[in-house]
């Protein structure tokens, strides 16, 4: 006998998200601390955020911030590079800097029983990096090779070109954080030291700790290990970018050998993370391209046409309006059709109000997925860092569901008109020689 159809389950009320409220304090040197302890997983994630992104690069040496980030963990005044990495590795820890346009973040992941020795190494790297010649030259050479290797991948070429088209050759958001080969070759160790001296300061920076630890113990260790760190880091003034790319409405095509796929980006200027429009924009983006299967772009180009494995759109977050864009790669034969279809979807969301059920679905997806955002120590650390970086209110995550709920179809259309209209966007196609309009 075949199995019978069971009725689709009727679900009870959803669980409320449990967004942790961290303990907050400030060290006497001005370093802010956010601590979100939670037992269970024997892991601690530490994230130290410093206003030392590429927007603080000296004008003649783009790539300085990135090199400094890489060199933090390459030896300190009291430890040769080899001794430093051996100690990290023996703890079973890992540490690395991620340098973005606005900020640098040093992240360390520790086993829970190594908090004190781990923090001692983190503080040493932050406060006393040595920038010795041997390590500096090696990291410089690796960075130069990395710049060459990056250009081997059409997806990277498309991303970098789109950023340059949106923000132009001067604004930091238009430039890669790793800088140019010329500047990386030329920048001296003294410039790197100077950059560290000016920007890696406790006041203006903050540390997030998430995972299995005792906040009292954390406070004691931080006080001890960061005692020798002083001074104020000023946040680099990132200029407001032009709201329209110079090549808005145009298409840039880049040939690529015998490419089998075309990498497509359709991109323009988005929103600052602290903008009050950020939440309606998240809803609008979800409807258009936030989910590769169910959003309009994915439902059309992947699920209906089968032209691509994936297509997404997203807003990048920044102090200033960063990019918004659609990205996909498609079979080279359909590159023109795919670009037309993307433009058709962009026009549609700009010109017609979204249907109520579509809006409902986007809100439910965004609100009800919040519990998953706080599942891991790393996830908690990321979300707390976002609040602190952009000076968002402490009850941000608790109030978020109501704010999403308040978004209307008119709000979505307004966001679409401001950010998704094809005449405001540049299309970049890598792997295709077709003439663009």
Q: For the segment 323-382, give every residue that binds other proteins (CB under 8 A).
A: 329-331, 361, 364-365, 367-372, 374-378
Neighbours of 277 (CB within 10 A): 18
CB of 238 to other proteins, least distance (A): 28
- Measured from the CB atom, is 113 or 217 closer to other proteins? 113
Of 25, 36, 33, 111, nearest to 380 (Cα)? Answer: 36
Phi, psi of 85, deg, nearest 5: -70, -35
User: Is there a contact between 366 and 429 (Cβ–Cβ < 8 Å)?
Assistant: no
Residue with tokens 């406790």: 202
Tokens of 227: 């005692």
Return the SS3 of 261: strand
**Scanning residues 402 to 421, which ones bind other proteins (CB under 8 A)?**
none
- Measured from the CB atom, is 224 or 246 closer to other proteins? 246
- Measured from the CB atom, is 101 or 383 closer to other proteins? 383
| Residue of the chain from 11, 133, 237, 391 that contacts other proteins (CB under 8 A) | 11
| Residue of the chain from 4, 190, 391, 402 that contacts other proteins (CB under 8 A) | 4
| Residue of the chain from 25, 30, 58, 111 that contacts other proteins (CB under 8 A) | 111
The alpha-carbon radius of gyration of the chain (Å, integer) is 24
- Measured from the CB atom, is 320 or 329 closer to other proteins? 329
Does 430 bind other proteins (CB under 8 A)? Our answer is: yes
- Measured from the CB atom, is 55 or 328 closer to other proteins? 328
Phi, psi of 153, deg, nearest 5: -110, 120
CB of 385 to other proteins, least distance (A): 17
> 320-336 burial, b if ≥16 CB within 10 A, otherwise e?
bbbbbbbbbbbebebbb
Say how many residues make up the chain: 437
| Residue of the chain from 200, 256, 315, 397 that contacts other proteins (CB under 8 A) | 256
Task: Choose one: 52-60, 151-159, 196-204, 265-273; the region binding other proteins (CB under 8 A).
Answer: 151-159
CB of 141 to other proteins, least distance (A): 7
Instruction: Look up residue 129 and give its DSSP letter.
Output: B
Which x/- pattern over 290-329 shows residues binding other proteins (rule: CB under 8 A)? -x-xx----x--xxxxxxxxx------------------x
| Residue of the chain from 157, 272, 288, 342 that contacts other proteins (CB under 8 A) | 157
Alpha helices (H) in 128-201, listed in sequence order: 133-150, 154-167, 181-186, 189-199
CB of 214 to other proteins, least distance (A): 18
| Residue of the chain from 60, 145, 340, 352 that contacts other proteins (CB under 8 A) | 145
Return the SS3 of 427: strand
CB of 270 to other proteins, least distance (A): 23
**Scanning residues 164 to 223, which ones bind other proteins (CB under 8 A)?**
none
- Measured from the CB atom, is 55 or 295 closer to other proteins? 295
Q: Give me the long-range contacts of 143-151 (CB less than 8 A, separation at least 24).
A: 143/63, 143/66, 143/67, 143/70, 143/178, 143/184, 144/181, 144/184, 144/185, 146/178, 147/178, 147/180, 147/181, 147/184, 148/181, 150/178
**Scanning residues 29 to 48, which ones bind other proteins (CB under 8 A)?**
38, 40-43
Does 121 bind other proteins (CB under 8 A)? Our answer is: no
Task: From residue 126, give the alpha-carbon distance in Å to each of 119, 130, 333.
Answer: 10, 10, 51
Strand order in the sheet with 206-211: 23-26, 32-37, 206-211, 43-50, 104-111, 94-99
- Measured from the CB atom, is 340 or 364 closer to other proteins? 364
- Measured from the CB atom, is 184 or 233 closer to other proteins? 184
Residue with tokens 């983006």: 285
CB of 205 to other proteins, least distance (A): 24
Q: CB within 8 A of 19, min separation 6: which ones?
A: 370, 374, 383, 397, 398
CB of 31 to other proteins, least distance (A): 26
Q: Give Dmax (Cα) for the chain.
A: 80
CB of 123 to other proteins, least distance (A): 18
- Measured from the CB atom, is 274 or 312 closer to other proteins? 312
Task: Choose one: 139-147, 182-190, 226-234, 341-349; the region binding other proteins (CB under 8 A).
Answer: 139-147
User: Is there a contact between 261 and 330 (Cβ–Cβ < 8 Å)?
Assistant: yes
CB of 129 to other proteins, least distance (A): 15
Backbone region of residue 427 per phi and psi (left: phi > 0; alpha: psi in -120 to 50; beta: other values): beta
CB of 221 to other proteins, least distance (A): 20
- Measured from the CB atom, is 94 or 186 closer to other proteins? 94
Question: If residue 50 lies in a helix (H) or strand (E), which one and from where to where?
Answer: strand 43-50
Return the SS3 of 269: strand
**Scanning residues 63 to 102, which ones bind other proteins (CB under 8 A)?**
73, 81-82, 85-86, 88-94
């Amino acid at each position: 006998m075949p199995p019978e159809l069971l009725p689709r389950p009727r679900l009870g009320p959803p669980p409320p998200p449990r967004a942790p409220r961290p303990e907050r304090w400030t060290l006497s040197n001005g370093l802010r601390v956010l601590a979100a302890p939670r037992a269970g997983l024997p892991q601690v994630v530490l994230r130290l955020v410093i206003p030392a992104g590429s927007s603080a690069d000296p004008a003649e040496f783009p790539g300085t911030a990135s090199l400094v980030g890489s060199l933090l963990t390459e030896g300190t005044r009291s430890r040769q590079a080899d001794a430093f990495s051996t100690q990290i590795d023996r703890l079973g820890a890992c540490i690395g800097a991620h340098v973005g346009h606005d900020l640098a973040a040093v992240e360390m992941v520790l086993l829970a029983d190594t908090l004190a020795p781990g923090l001692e190494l983190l503080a040493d790297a932050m406060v006393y990096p040595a920038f010795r010649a041997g390590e500096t030259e090696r990291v410089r050479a690796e960075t130069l090779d990395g710049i060459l290797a990056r250009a081997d991948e059409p997806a990277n070429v498309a991303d970098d070109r789109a950023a340059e088209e949106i923000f132009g050759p001067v604004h930091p958001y238009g430039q890669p954080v790793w800088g140019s080969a010329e500047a990386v070759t030329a920048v001296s160790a003294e410039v790197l030291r100077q950059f560290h001296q000016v920007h890696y300061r406790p006041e203006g920076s903050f540390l997030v700790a998430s995972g299995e630890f005792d906040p009292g113990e954390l406070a004691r260790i931080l006080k001890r290990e960061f005692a020798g760190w002083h001074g104020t880091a000023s946040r680099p003034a990132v200029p407001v970018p032009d709201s329209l790319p110079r090549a808005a409405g145009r298409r840039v095509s880049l040939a690529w050998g015998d490419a089998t796929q075309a990498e497509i980006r359709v991109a323009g200027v988005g929103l600052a993370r602290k903008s009050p429009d950020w939440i309606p924009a998240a809803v609008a983006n979800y409807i258009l391209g936030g989910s590769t299967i169910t959003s309009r772009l994915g439902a059309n180009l992947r699920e209906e046409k089968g032209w691509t494995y994936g297509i997404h759109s997203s807003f990048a977050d920044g102090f200033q309006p960063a990019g918004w864009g659609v990205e996909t790669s498609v079979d080279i034969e359909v590159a023109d059709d795919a670009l037309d279809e993307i433009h058709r979807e962009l026009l549609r969301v700009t010109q017609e109000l979204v249907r109520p059920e579509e809006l409902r679905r986007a809100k439910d997806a965004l609100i009800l997925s919040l519990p998953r955002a706080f599942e891991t120590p790393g996830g908690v650390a990321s979300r707390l860092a976002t609040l602190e970086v952009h000076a968002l209110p402490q009850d941000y995550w608790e109030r978020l569901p109501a704010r999403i709920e308040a978004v209307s179809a008119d709000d979505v259309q307004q966001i679409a008109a401001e950010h998704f209209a094809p005449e405001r966007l540049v299309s970049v196609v890598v792997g295709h020689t077709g003439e663009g309009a």
